Amino acid sequence: MASSSSIDLSGSTYCVLTGASQGIGRAIAVEVSKLLGPNSLMLLLARNKQELAKTASLCESDNVKVLFESVDLSRAANKEMKGVLENSLQRRNVTDFALNLIFHNVGSLGNLAVETSRMEDVEELREYYDLNVFKVISLNTQFLKIFQDVEDRVVIVNVTSLCAIKPMGGMAFYCSGKAAREMYFRVLAEEKKHVRVLNYSPGPVETAMIDYVLAEAVNDNLRDVFTTFKNQGTLLKPEMTAKKCMKVLQSGKFTPGEHVDYFDDE
């Protein structure tokens, strides 16, 4: 890190990014890869191996070696997660890197076809929370175990949402999951003073999520909101929000665990 506040990505950096096969995840991977210094190493995780390979090809450079692994994080055990991380290091020591960075971008919207007052399928809820909350926590724990001796070089970015702090009718799965996940990272930041933690909210982005909402939502207001986003051309391109994320991250001006939105003032 360049100073007590700014975060310097130009040294040898180890970077993990989940949900890297498309959309915001791919855009963040590409943007961060441009900033990493010599002997940097990236690990991209998602289920779709073909799309991961595409993301990797966009990130590879003389400075950055990119590895990718097809993993279903909703089902991966702690041992598997830790193994994937350790194997990616390829015998390099944790002290070899000036910075160790992880982006928790994996996520899903959940069932939009059931009204909040009718939610009763506990197994469905469990599956949603496994991917969006529990396994995110598990992966983060494995990451911290590996880098426990160099915590002052660890930076964690949780890709969150305005829905983590503001309720949105028709999105009880998504809002409650994002809120729980964000609070975990805020508590972590409170306890781990040497670890830099950012909750970054990317704003309304033009991804497959928009079409999914329009096709599945039973809440009229939710459908109207997303229809307006789409028709008025107010959706952000993934590259736009990825660049803003990098700007916020590098500035280091966020407080521990702070929720920073794309539209927040600089």
Q: How confident is the model over 233-260, as pLDDT tens digits?
A: 889 999 999 999 999 999 999 999 999 9
3-state helix, strand, coil in the chain (%, to 5): 50, 15, 35
Which residues lie closer than 8 Å to 194 by C-beta, 6 or more apart? 151, 152, 154
Helix (H, G, I), strand (E, B) or coil at 256: coil
Q: What homologous superfamily does CATH list for 13-203+238-261?
A: NAD(P)-binding Rossmann-like Domain (3.40.50.720)
**Bridge partners, residue 70, by sequence:** 46
Q: CB neighbours (10 Å) of residue 115?
A: 12
Q: Say what the pLDDT of residue 94 is.
A: 95
Q: What is the pLDDT of residue 232?
A: 86
Q: How many CB atoms lie within 10 A of CB 94?
A: 15
pLDDT tens for residues 72-84?
A: 999 999 999 999 9
- Say whether pLDDT at 266 is over 80: no
Model pLDDT, residue 1:
39
Whole-Å CA distances, 132 to 96, 125, 181: 31, 10, 7
More confident residue, 50 or 231: 50
d(CA 241, CA 243): 5
Q: Where are the beta strands (DSSP E) in 47-159?
A: 64-70, 99-104, 154-159
Q: Give whole-number Cα distances, 130 to 42, 73, 115, 137, in Å.
A: 25, 8, 21, 10
Question: Is the Cβ–Cβ distance between 264 and 251 less than 8 Å?
Answer: no
Give the C-alpha separation, 90 to 144, whole Å: 18
pLDDT in tens, 139-175: 999 999 999 999 999 999 999 999 999 999 999 999 9
Specify the pTM.
0.95
Instruction: Give the chain's mean pLDDT.
Output: 95
Would you kindly state where each structural domain of the chain is located, as residue ranges? 13-203+238-261
141 three-class SS: helix
d(CA 239, CA 60): 17
Please name which of 214, 234, 237, 235 lies closest in space to residue 224, comparing C-alpha atoms.
Answer: 214
Q: Please give the share of the chain, as a percent, with pLDDT higher than 90.
A: 90
Picking from 100, 105, 89, the residue whose alpha carbon sits closest to that of residue 29 is 105
Nearest to 173 by CA among 227, 121, 241, 230: 121
Give residue 241's pLDDT.
98
23 residue type, one letter: G
For the segment 213-219, the average pLDDT, to the nearest whole number, is 91
